[in-house]
Structure 1
Amino acid sequence: MATSDDRSARWNRYWDKKSRNYDREIGFFDRHLFGDSRQWVCSQATGDVLEVAIGTGLNLPFCPETVRPTGIDWSEQILDLARDRAADLGHPAVLQRADAHRLPFDDASFDAVVCPLGLCAIPNHTQALTEMTRVLRPGGRLVLVDHIRSSAAHWTTSLPLTASTLTASSGSPSGSSNGSSPVRPPRPDSPRAVVCPRRHHHERSRT
């Protein structure tokens, strides 16, 4: 049976190979599918921010100057590209190789955790989301956006957090939720989820 270390090594090799053409390939989707998703996610983050699956750092240009970003990814080669981008931007981002299923941070380390367009690349969503929630400070914010069909209601109800804004978009132009439970206002000390699985740039979760 493969261990978590074997899995991490396998994914590291896969994304190392993808690193050479990653920006060119993802650029097509940015232009034709993702719209302003990156800008929107970054606008939701404040304080100490962890980006899970940071990739080549395509979101760094949209980070507010007031945030203190940390980013993790499977691939060292992809992280090297992110480091180059951060240096070109003069951005003091802390970037390190890590497994999203086993985040190397203490509990309550971050004011916000973001995962823009990266959850689809993580094999075990529930485990990764549990880890993201663990490292959030009381009242922190988990911000997710992706281009794949998924159940945002499951993401929030299966984890110890309260959804303050929840739009489960499954291709509906209105961005309506299909079968989601009603969302209740969070307590001030509850981690908050701002979740927007999206397939079209006009589908938006609004705070």
Structure 2
Amino acid sequence: MAAPDPSSAPPTPPSRLDDGPAFSSKADAFIAWFAPFFSYLTAAVTYIQTQVQAVVDAGLDNAAQNAADAQAAAGTASNAADEAVEARDETESLRDDAQDYRDQAQAAAAQAAAAQANGWEVVQDLGTVNGSVAVDLSAGTYIVASIDDDVTWSFTNPPPDEAAGGITMELTDASGGTAVHTWPAGTKWPGGAAPTPTSGGTDLLAFAIRTDDASAVTLVGTRALENVL
């Protein structure tokens, strides 16, 4: 809304010094000027009220927007705080798990060292396995495993050059007799063939492993006991 403007300046008011006709003429003109002037005043008041209301409305809108922004920021901050608490709790849980694993590893290492110090073989329990399985002989040479499907065996960390050792494998068939065992190429067996696993049973296989001075590994195996457990 545009600001109203007075249509004209007020006329010269009548004076006692004026004669009769002049006084009447000035008085009529002065009185007639008041009607548009009152219209101007009304329009001016309306304009001022409109401008004041617009300022108030704009202030209220800004205040409402600022309040909404503050509420959204508070919600974001609250979510961030919750996520930080969850991350802290998860970190503490992972730390506790890591400490448990460390303690278990240290205990296992101590048991292995004690067993080796007394000349015993260290048991390496592989759990249930299938597919390609690489047995780390440095982790233990008494191997326990349950076989639920075809498996291909290999051995890492054999004896050093010009050294030999033994491997015992306690293997339980969990495949119903369908699992096929594939042994490292060149493995020697009595009669030239690897023994057939006992279906649903546990067999003990014994291996002699030797590394010559050229780092060539010879593996000789036999079934020591059939369906023992």
TM over 0.5: same fold? no
Query: Greater helix percent: which structure?
Result: 2
Query: Greater strand percent: which structure?
Result: 2
Q: Which has the larger radius of gyration?
A: 2
Give the structure, 1 or 2, with the largest relative contact order (CA under 8 Å, sep 6 or more).
Answer: 1
